[in-house]
């Protein structure tokens, strides 16, 4: 009898202390703020209902600016350099963290053509795997990352923001298909980050390699992995293994061959998309590439 008493006594002490501590605090702390991890459900099933609210909003003036950081679009000449640094800072951050990421959709097509962002497109699409988004959410949600950029006074600060609804793993959550954003706080431009997850429904039906994103794209593990190492905007980048197959499935064969697109013509000599309109000059300029240099230290690494 005395043995069991010695066991439960410390527990009782602990309980008394905990209650005392709660009672002693002046404010009534929010449950979520005390048990930060409890916002998420790690049981594997996730929340049962999709969120009713959209987490990431597009600005009122342009669908690809974050209205919290800008009130107008950048001029055309400014956009491309901003986007280049946006993707470079993102890729460099992920590489430093040891967090796996790769480009997809329109960005992969742009890479296919000349390993540079399309001059007419300010949409950048990247993907990460499920363990990575858990890691980023755990350690880096709402963190600011400052970079020194040659030719940019004061550098720029980027914000990594995770959509808390990423734990809801089904496509039923139509309002929160983007799982995270990497935002240029100087301009409001951002990168859409989507997590690629095992497609449980398809796997149950025997499709053992099925992957899905909340934006309703479906993949096969073997189409993406092992990732290949290439360059995008002169920066190391990872590419899905079967890139030609993925691009052809998504955009059709002509997207890989047609040299006229969106009022631009692909110059096979200079390997640059030139505007068809004579008044416009190519936004691509030669010269040294200005690589961003991180100034904010990274505390936690994935590997």
Residues 6+ apart with CB under 8 A from 36: none
Nearest residue to 151 via CA among 291, 294, 285: 291
Instruction: Decide: is 84 part of the binding site for another protein (CB under 8 A).
Output: no
Pick out residues in 241-280 that bind another protein (CB under 8 A). Answer: 241-245, 248, 253-254, 256-260, 266, 268, 271
Instruction: Decide: is 141 part of the binding site for another protein (CB under 8 A).
Output: no
The torsion of the CA quartet 26, 29, 35, 40, rounded to 10 degrees, works out to: 180
Q: For another protein, which is the closer residue by CB, 148 or 242?
A: 242
Residues 6+ apart with CB under 8 A from 230: 111, 115, 236, 237, 238, 239
What is the DSSP-derived secondary structure letter of residue 299?
A: -
Q: In angstroms, rounded to a whole number, what is the distance separating the alpha carbons of residues 236 and 40?
A: 33
Q: For another protein, which is the closer residue by CB, 28 or 268?
A: 268
Q: For another protein, which is the closer residue by CB, 69 or 225?
A: 225
Provide the terminal-to-terminal Cα distance of the chain, rounded to the nearest Å. 49
**Least gap, CB of 231 to another protein (angstroms):** 7
What mask of x and - would describe binding to another protein in positions 190 to 229, judged by CB under 8 A?
A: --------x---------xx-x---------xx-xxxxxx
Q: In angstroms, rounded to a whole number, what is the distance separating the alpha carbons of residues 199 and 278?
A: 48
User: Could you tell me which stretch among 4-12, 39-47, 170-178, 239-247 binds another protein (CB under 8 A)?
Assistant: 239-247
What are the residues binding another protein (CB under 8 A)?
111-115, 129-131, 198, 208-209, 211, 221-222, 224-231, 239, 241-245, 248, 253-254, 256-260, 266, 268, 271, 303
């Amino acid at each position: 009898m005395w043995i069991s008493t010695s066991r439960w006594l410390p527990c009782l002490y602990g309980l008394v202390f905990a209650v005392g501590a709660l009672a002693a605090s002046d404010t009534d702390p929010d449950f979520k703020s005390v048990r930060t991890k409890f916002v998420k459900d790690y049981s594997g099933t996730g929340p049962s209902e999709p969120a009713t609210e959209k987490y990431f909003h597009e600005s009122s003036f342009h669908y690809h600016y974050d209205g919290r950081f800008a009130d107008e679009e950048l001029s055309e000449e400014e956009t491309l350099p901003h986007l280049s640094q946006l993707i470079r800072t993102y890729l460099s951050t992920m590489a430093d963290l040891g967090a796996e990421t790769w480009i997809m959709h329109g960005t992969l097509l742009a890479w296919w053509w000349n390993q540079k962002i399309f001059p007419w497109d300010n949409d950048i699409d990247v993907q990460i795997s499920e363990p990575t988004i858990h890691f980023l959410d755990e350690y880096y949600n709402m963190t600011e990352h400052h970079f020194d950029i040659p030719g940019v006074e004061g550098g720029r600060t980027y914000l990594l923001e995770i959509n808390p609804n990423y734990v809801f793993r089904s496509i039923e959550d139509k309002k929160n298909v983007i799982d995270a954003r990497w935002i240029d706080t100087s301009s409001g431009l951002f990168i859409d980050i989507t997590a690629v997850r095992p497609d449980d429904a398809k796997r149950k039906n025997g499709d053992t390699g099925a992957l899905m994103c909340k934006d309703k794209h479906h993949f096969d593990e073997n189409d993406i992995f092992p990732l290949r190492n290439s360059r995008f905007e002169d920066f190391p980048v990872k590419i899905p293994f079967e890139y030609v197959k993925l691009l052809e499935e998504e955009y059709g064969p002509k997207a890989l061959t047609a040299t006229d697109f969106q009022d631009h013509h692909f110059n096979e000599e200079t390997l640059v998309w030139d505007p068809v309109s004579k008044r416009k000059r190519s936004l691509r300029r030669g010269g040294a590439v200005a690589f961003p240099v991180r100034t904010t230290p990274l505390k936690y690494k994935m590997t």
